[in-house]
Amino acid sequence: MRRARKKKIVLTSELFSTTTAAPKGRIGRGLGLLLYGVAFSGLGAAATFYSMVQKGFASFTDAESAKLFVPDSDELQQIEETINKHPLVQELRSRPEFKESRPHLKMSSEVRSRTLTGGALQGDGMIMVPPVAFIEDGGKSIVSVTYIGDKLCGHPGLVHGGLLATMLDEGLARGCFDALPHKIAVTASLEINYRKPTQANSFLVLRGKTVKVEGRKAWAEGCIETLPAPGEKPVTLVEAKGLFISPKYAAQKLTLNISNITWHPSLSRRERNQLRSQRGLTIWLTGLSASGKSTVATALEQHLLHLGLSAYRLDGDNVRFGLNKDLGFSEKDRNENIRRISEVAKLFADASTIAITSFISPYRADRDLARELHAKTEQDGDEPIPFVEVFVDVPLEVAEQRDPKGLYKKARAGEIKEFTGISAPYEEPVNAEITIKTHENTVEECVAQITNWLIAEGYVKSEVKN
């Protein structure tokens, strides 16, 4: 909004008056401008645009938009006060079925500046303050108040009829959006009848009523009248009726417009972690079958979630039966299994989640590759994703004795080939950050050991709750 000229606005009946005689020959009673035809690109487009803003592209809600305008001059301050104190506005504010907004201010300033009534026609001497609108629930009616200066005249001192037609087009359409599918409409027809000349530098009230709705069509009628001074009656200046149609392409159009939004460049990992108040990392459990990886990983995931952290476990249940269902237990397949899991864990961690993996991952080279993959995420000054290797260390005899699935038995009997620890290697870690011994400590103790390490390293802020 540009700075307004210094001009005193006096709160008298004169201020609200628009009863100057019409210049002869310009406007006769009943002589009107008739706009017919489906105007999808002109006025109609404006209606569509506003509905989109209302539906999902608005930067601000109705309530937020109502509070956004801050007058930056005495003149604008007086206009604001006149609107705010007027009995009509006060009455509308007391009626719960009417929602107050300043529709133009729901848009971002970037979008608004490209609109006719929110951009080009707003400012000193024109539409001087963003119109205040009250829309009845269900798109039944609308009342809005506007102040028009003296720079949008047709004849000197009289507001241009084209502006009044535009205001009615937008106002009637906006009033019925909520009665239509997709809350969208384009103007199919608009009939305008000028009843009296409209004085510049005056407050105007637009009233609209949705008179009929049939499927995608809504018929609305309304007028522009004076904002009366106390004790006076409003004077009808312009009347209008129109047909507004919610187009079939409405839903598609909304989707298409999303692709036109310019997004902020990608967030850095540091920014994402800050916004999520959590550093993403990967906790990589490795150990023999039946060493306790799944049991500890499950308990750890639950514990971290209870601490309010985002954690997600990757294990055979959700990986070997899905993403990696094409892989077996040959060395090559295990290499590929671990490579894919490393990539997925890295993505979870990049999204500020604590990824917990529980796979045998018997080959040192595979685990080192996973570590490297995480380390390589250090770029453009962004911190690398931490990789925490946890060796679930139990002697083979303990695992074999546990044998919860009877696999060791089968492996010994030769029924399962290439079984880790029996007929396939397990290469113990040499540089694991943490080693847990599930044959010496309980599940809870193992979880506490890992969590305390994370806290000590500053990866997790919360205290361990015992």
Binding residue for ligand PPS (CB under 6 A) from 98, 359, 408, 459?
Answer: 359
Give least dist CB 333 to ligand PPS, A: 7
Which residue of the chain is nearest ligand ADP when measured via CB?
292
Give least dist CB 113 to ligand ADP, A: 60
Give the count of beta carbons closer than 10 Å to the beta carbon of residue 52: 21
Active-site choice (144, 352, 358, 361): 361
Question: How large is the angle between the packed helices 161-176 and 43-52, nearest 10 degrees?
Answer: 40
Beta bridge partners of 132: 145
Whether 168 and 238 have beta carbons less than 8 Å apart is answered as: yes
User: Looking at beta carbons only, is 20 or 318 nearer to ligand PPS?
Assistant: 318
Cα separation of 459 and 129, whole Å? 51
Which residue of the chain is nearest ligand PPS when measured via CB?
289
Beta bridge partners of 421: none
Residue 356 interacts with ligand PPS (CB under 6 A): yes or no? no
When CB distances are held under 5 to 8 angstroms depending on the partner's kind, the choice from ligand PPS, ligand ADP, none that residue 416 binds is: ligand PPS
- In order of 279, 296, 306, 452, 456, the CA distances from 302 in angstroms are 17, 10, 6, 15, 20
Residue 84 identity: N
Residue 337 interacts with ligand PPS (CB under 6 A): yes or no? yes
Footprint of ligand ADP on this chain (CB under 6 A)?
287, 289-296, 358, 402, 404, 438, 441-443, 446
Active site residue 361: yes
User: Looking at beta carbons only, is 240 or 290 nearer to ligand ADP?
Assistant: 290
Residue 86 identity: H
| 95's tokens | 């009626």
Question: How large is the angle between the packed helices 43-52 and 250-258, nearest 10 degrees?
Answer: 70
User: Total binding residues for ligand PPS by CB under 6 A?
Assistant: 20
Place of tokens 């540091």: 270
- In terms of Cα–Cα distance, which of 105, 112, 118 is closest to 170? 118
Stretch that binds ligand PPS, among 82-90, 334-342, 368-376, 390-398 (CB under 6 A): 334-342
Beta strands in 167-216 (DSSP E): 186-194, 202-214
Residue 342 interacts with ligand PPS (CB under 6 A): yes or no? no
Residue 117 interacts with ligand PPS (CB under 6 A): yes or no? no
Residue 184 interacts with ligand PPS (CB under 6 A): yes or no? no
Whether 452 and 415 have beta carbons less than 8 Å apart is answered as: no
User: Looking at beta carbons only, is 10 or 413 nearer to ligand PPS?
Assistant: 413
Whether 285 and 392 have beta carbons less than 8 Å apart is answered as: yes
Stretch that binds ligand PPS, among 77-85, 199-207, 251-259, 353-361 (CB under 6 A): 353-361
- Positions annotated as catalytic residues are 361
Residues making contact with ligand PPS (CB under 6 A)? 289-290, 294, 316, 320, 329, 334, 337-338, 359-362, 405, 407, 416, 418-420, 424
